[in-house]
Structure 1
């Protein structure tokens, strides 16, 4: 299984380009995943933004059993893995 923060950000309907420069867009993504706005030191790098978004999405999506299995219609996914959250 792989996690692609860009996919998770776009799934929330937010432009992922240089996301870390705009706390309001980060908050929009967190809201989409039913997570409180980020409070603390600024998210000042792409890696930090990706980590915060990935954690929120993992928490929000993890209760859906469909995200824990490779899609049936994608045979390669059974051998190579799949992107978490893509069903």
Structure 2
């Protein structure tokens, strides 16, 4: 028999580096870096994770009409929730 699980509307926050590709995410927390806000990566903004390059490479994001690459070290400190 299958148990009913109480699932919330959104998955818990997780880091952007490990988040699934091809999905949209709401940014929940970012590390203190002025460059991120200049790129449109700030709390409550919506981004789409397009691709994660292998072997510790950067993450390619769609932020509005721009594509932005974010390094693994920074992407792993950005917390997101799936939209």
TM-score range, shorter chain: under 0.3
Q: Which has the higher contact order (CA 8 A, sep 6+)?
A: 2
Q: State the TM-score, normalized to the length of structure 2.
A: 0.24
Q: State the TM-score, normalized to the length of structure 1.
A: 0.23
More strand by share: 2
More helix by share: 1
